[in-house]
């Protein structure tokens, strides 16, 4: 049986089409389980309880605990598919306390005065993954910002505290849910 040129061309086009399609689709099969936010959370985790972080240290704004707790909740809601569930019977639990709010002089000058002051905030956080206990941790997270000695803490606190809290939230998220 002889094939006509038109049949051979049709088969060749069909083979070329299948090859091209498989070349395009094969690499895409590995894209499924990844997340653009870089989370390592299992897809079967659906809920998280974030308890209020309490003040166990002196100093800081009166609303520091409330502000931080809201930042943590917002960050998890924005960067995961987890739903907030009050009451503690969620798949994940995050809670903690402020254990440090310190102002220290740094960078001494020739006049025996500090050239800079440093504000350091430390949060002790406890994370519980009820479906994978190997992910649990109880760890402190700390971050600081420096400011000129010529300024008082009252002058710069409103700008420094949110930046410090944002970094601590990011560090906690990366430890508990991030894959960085």
Tens digit of each residue's pLDDT (9 = 90 or more) over 90-105? 999 999 999 999 999 9
Mean pLDDT of 102-129: 90
DSSP letter at 4 equals P
Residues 171 and 134 in one domain: yes
Sheet strands (E) in the chain: 47-50, 54-55, 83-84, 92-108, 114-129, 137-148
Residues 115 and 140 in one domain: yes
Q: Domain with 159 in it: what CATH number? A: 3.30.160.150
Residues 14 and 75 in one domain: no
Number of structural domains (the chain) is: 2
Q: By residue range, what is the domain housing residue 51?
A: 38-176
Instruction: State pTM to two decimals.
Output: 0.77
- Position 58 scores a pLDDT of 92
139, pLDDT greater than 80: yes
């Amino acid at each position: 049986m002889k094939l006509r040129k038109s049949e051979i061309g049709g088969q060749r086009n069909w083979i070329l089409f299948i090859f091209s399609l498989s070349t395009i689709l094969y690499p895409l099969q590995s894209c499924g389980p990844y997340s653009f936010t870089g989370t390592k959370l299992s897809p079967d985790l659906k809920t998280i309880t974030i308890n209020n972080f309490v003040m166990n240290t002196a100093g800081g704004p009166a609303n520091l605990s409330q502000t931080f707790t809201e930042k943590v909740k917002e960050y998890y809601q924005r960067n995961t598919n987890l739903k907030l569930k009050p009451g503690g019977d969620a798949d994940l639990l995050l809670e903690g306390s402020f254990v440090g709010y310190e102002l220290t002089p740094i960078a001494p000058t020739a006049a025996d005065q500090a050239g800079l002051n440093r504000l350091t905030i430390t949060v002790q956080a406890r994370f519980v993954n009820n479906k994978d206990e190997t992910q649990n941790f109880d760890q402190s997270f700390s971050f600081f910002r420096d400011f000129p000695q010529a300024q008082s803490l009252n002058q710069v606190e409103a700008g420094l505290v949110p930046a410090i809290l944002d970094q601590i939230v990011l560090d906690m998220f990366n430890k508990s849910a991030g894959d960085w």
